[in-house]
Amino acid sequence: MLIKKPSDIPPSEITPESVYRARREFMRGGAALLAGGALFSSMAPSMAFGQQGDALKAAAPPGLTRTPPAAWWEEKFEDIRPAPSEEPLYTAEALTPYQDVTRYNNFYEFGMDKSDPSNRSSAFQTDPWSIEVEGEVARPGTYHLEDILKPHDLEERVYRLRCVEAWSMVIPWIGFPLADLIKRFEPTSRARYVEFETVIQSDTMPGIRSPFAIVDWPYREGLRMDEAMNELTFLAVGLYGSFLPAQNGAPIRLVVPWKYGFKSIKSIVRMNFRETQPNTTWNDLQANEYGFYANVNPEVHHPRWRQDMERRLPQTLFSRRVIPTRLFNGYEEQVAHMYKDMDLARYY
Ligand code: MTE
């Protein structure tokens, strides 16, 4: 079977948003419509059910294309629960095209330019993959990715992603709530924070080997337990109905939509449940610029980027698409209660 790398996929093969949305609407339509397989095929031929496995493989991240994805992994993707049709789990705002979501990235392990992660991640290994679970939990251990994913139904969510650099995207993620995974580890009453770490693969991650690297690897992030258990906090294993490309944090990454993008740590290999607040990469590097909380807040400016406006990608020559930034990135109703007694300018 011909398996293509993402870089080989011509733009014409990447599902345009209208078709993508139509396919999702169709799936949401329910089982009765599934009987009309011919109708489905004519709406979105490249994603007809029988061919879905092939389509997914065609867009699989490089690490998975070289060793064809394990059957269990492919099976997980055969039955994705479509996005619900309402906020907060689904925004009807226009999706950022696949090309931009997968070619304009921050993943410093591969380099500091936005194009480095997609251009320099072809050797990245994502199979086998396991996550070390440590600290204040009744069930610590090393969990293989298959065991992590097995009990969870995959669902789609369409979230806004707001970077502290004042750009934003709208991304259809595939994954499951972090809370559902955390419950399986049975945190003790002393677990007040959870710390996450990204893999170090020095041989496949040129940014780690670079003498100009500014980060003290591994990349680290953390959440308070109530934040980690919030209904919006998501572990993504895919996007645009397919596997997560290496540059977006394959095979598993965090998505915290009301916080600046740097909290959404990629390619997770360790979770540590702790009593005390963990150190985090950007806070350690420049505490006056990057807080531990990093809640999107149009009133608290970063020294180099105003935070009351954002550039919604993609931009064109004719339109900069600048829109106002919303408190908690528009997820105020779901998250504001967690910070009601906090001074958001102090705990930025
Ligand atoms: N995770 C790791 N391990 N390394 C990184 O450099 N960058 C963060 C975050 N997660 C980063 C990371 C930043 S700054 C942003 S804005 C988001 O990933 C970008 O996610 P995306 O490239 O999928 O849009």
Taking the CA of residue 101 as reference, the ligand 1 atom at the shortest distance is: 24
136-147: average pLDDT: 97
Quickly tell me which residue has 């090393």 as its tokens. 142
Percent of the chain with pLDDT over 70: 81
Q: From 262, 254, 220, 213, select the one nearest 111 (Cα to Cα).
A: 213
Taking the CA of residue 254 as reference, the ligand 1 atom at the shortest distance is: 10
* pLDDT tens digits for range 313-338: 998 888 889 999 999 999 999 999 99
Taking the CA of residue 198 as reference, the ligand 1 atom at the shortest distance is: 3
pTM of the model: 0.87
Question: Which of the four pLDDT bands, split at 50, 70 and 90, describes residue 79?
Answer: confident
Is it the case that residue 312 has pLDDT exceeding 50? yes
User: Phi and psi at residue 13, in whole multiples of 5°?
Assistant: -85, -10
Percent of the chain with pLDDT over 90: 72
Position 232 scores a pLDDT of 98
CB distance 109 to ligand 1 below 6 Å: yes
Rounded distance between C-alpha atoms, residue 348 and residue 330, angstroms = 17
Rounded distance between C-alpha atoms, residue 33 and residue 19, angstroms = 17
Query: Closest Cα to atom 4, ligand 1: which residue?
Result: 107
Query: Closest Cα to atom 11, ligand 1: which residue?
Result: 107
Position 27 scores a pLDDT of 60
Distances (CA, A) of 144 to 55, 149, 169, 194, 272: 25, 9, 31, 19, 16
Q: Which residue has the higher pLDDT, 47 or 222?
A: 222
For residue 28, what are the contacts with CB-CB under 8 A and spacing of at least 6?
Answer: 82, 83, 85
Which of 266, 267, 302, 312 is the pocket-test mutation for ligand 1 (most atoms within 8 Å of CB)?
266
CB distance 290 to ligand 1 below 6 Å: no
Position 76 scores a pLDDT of 86
Which of 101, 107, 220 is the pocket-test mutation for ligand 1 (most atoms within 8 Å of CB)?
107
Going from the Cα of 261 to the center of ligand 1, the distance in angstroms, rounded, reads 6
Task: Considering only CA atoms, give the Rg of the chain.
Answer: 20
Question: Which of the four pLDDT bands, split at 50, 70 and 90, describes residue 289?
Answer: very high
Going from the Cα of 265 to the center of ligand 1, the distance in angstroms, rounded, reads 6
Going from the Cα of 205 to the center of ligand 1, the distance in angstroms, rounded, reads 14
Quickly tell me which residue has 């419509």 as its tokens. 33
For the chain, the structural domain boundaries read 6-339
CB distance 110 to ligand 1 below 6 Å: no
Going from the Cα of 47 to the center of ligand 1, the distance in angstroms, rounded, reads 29
Taking the CA of residue 248 as reference, the ligand 1 atom at the shortest distance is: 23
- Quick one: CATH architecture of 6-339? Alpha-Beta Complex (3.90)
Adjacency order of strands within the sheet including 193-198:
141-144, 130-135, 268-274, 193-198, 220-224
User: Phi and psi at residue 286, in whole multiples of 5°?
Assistant: -155, 80
Q: From 301, 295, 304, select the one nearest 339 (Cα to Cα).
A: 295
187-192: average pLDDT: 98
Query: Closest Cα to atom 22, ligand 1: which residue?
Result: 105
Going from the Cα of 101 to the center of ligand 1, the distance in angstroms, rounded, reads 12
